[in-house]
Amino acid sequence: MLFKLLTTYTKMISIPNKVPRKKRVFLGPLSRKILKLSKWEITGEFPNYKKIILIGVPHTANRDAWYALLAIFALDLKINFFGARWIFTRLPSPYTFSKDVDRLGIPWPLGWLQKIILLKLGGIPVYRNKSKGLIKGAIEEFSKMEEYILAIAPEAGTEQVKKFRSGFYYLSKELDIPYLPIELDFKNRRFHVQKEQFVSMSFEEESKKIISLFEGVEGALREFKMLEEMEQKD
């Protein structure tokens, strides 16, 4: 029984031929087994593009990043992702020991190894106190690449916000590539891939469209709602 459970993978989606892939001999099968044991699945349809931006919503807890990595490994996707500087060297913690947003989490002796691994996996550290010019530089770098998948959390943190960060919007617009909304649905234990979107409106209008796409999705700690929307209802 245990052998059957460990060798049966969770529900997956097929990945088209143009999508950048990276075969992971150990992490791929392991991630699929962990998702199976956790009763998580990946649903929807992945579009066939060699350049695309993934936006994951809602982002309500630090553990979202680790679940997302499991899904990425399980699908053998080759990605780049922006991450707060602290996650590259520190362990997540429900408690905040520093007021510096770049020094959250708990330091530990293997932080140096954690950084090497995350950089090798495609991580791009973001200094949230010094992020000016980040998107402009990213546009220049990604415009030189033949293929890539860039994963972004548009809420830019786990706290409720009044609006999305505009990074995904300008990257999608300037690089002329689609963005792909993905639900981190903890209630139904699934990553649901929605229909790809192309920027066709102002940032404000595009944000409203995305908000409607994720309406009612429950994250790890709460249901997705923008802070401004909640204030209007109170």
- What's residue 134's pLDDT? 72
Name the band, by pLDDT with cuts 50, 70 and 90, for residue 84. confident
Q: What pLDDT, in 10s, does the model give residues 27-71?
A: 999 999 999 999 999 999 999 999 999 999 999 998 998 899 899
* Rounded-to-10 torsion of CA 127, 185, 231, 163: 40
pLDDT for res 209: 95
CA 158 vs CA 50, 91, 117: distances in Å: 29, 15, 23
The overall average pLDDT reported for the chain is 86
For residue 195, the Cα-to-chain-centroid distance in whole angstroms is 16
Q: Which of 67-81, 100-114, 131-145, 199-213 has the lowest mean pLDDT?
A: 131-145
Determine which of 5-19, 50-64, 134-148 has the lowest per-residue pLDDT on average: 5-19
**Does position 149 have pLDDT exceeding 80, yes or no?**
yes
Q: Does pLDDT of 150 surpass 80? A: yes
What is this structure's pTM?
0.81
Number of other CB atoms surrounding residue 200 within 10 Å: 9
Does the N-terminal peptide bond of residue 58 adopt cis geometry, omega within 30 degrees of 0?
A: yes
**Cα–Cα distance between 228 and 60 in angstroms, integer?**
16
- Residue 29 burial (10 A CB sphere; 0-12, 13-18, 19+): middle
